[in-house]
Amino acid sequence: MKFGYARVSTKSQKHDLQVDAFLKEGIKPKNIYADISSGAKAERKGLDELLSILREGDTLVVWKLDRIARSLSHLTKLIEDFEKKGIHFKSIQESFIDTTSPHGRFIFNLFANWNEI
């Protein structure tokens, strides 16, 4: 199953652009989770709820990497956790980050290893 995660930083911002992109990706509205929260905050109710329901074979889609992760190390940890659970990850704007394909997993591993240098 495909899920989307959207985040905006302030109440004056809207999720519309992200949600429209998820719908074009074939994600059902009931499978879109969202937060209004600064990216610096670790606790995000919508993300926490979504992470608790993801199962093996699911795909989590984000509009951009900065919508889900606070830093490269945070993103790396999330993706490593997803891989252990058999969950795929895809970024719409950074289309080279797509762990549903061998090429996308390779590219992500390059980024993850770059983070360790």
Q: Which residues are catalytic?
A: 9
Nearest Cα neighbor of 60 from 100, 17, 116, 4 is: 4
Exposure string of 58-93, with b = 16+ CB inside 10 Å and e = fewer, is bbbbbbebebbbeeeeebbebbeebeeeebbbbbbe
The domain defined by 2-116 carries CATH number 3.40.50.300: no
How would you classify residue 10: left for phi > 0, otherwise alpha for psi between -120 and 50, otherwise beta?
beta
- Tens-of-pLDDT digits for all 117 residues of the chain? 999 999 998 889 999 999 999 999 999 999 999 999 876 666 789 999 999 999 999 999 999 988 998 787 888 888 889 989 999 999 999 888 888 888 877 877 776 666 554
pTM: 0.86
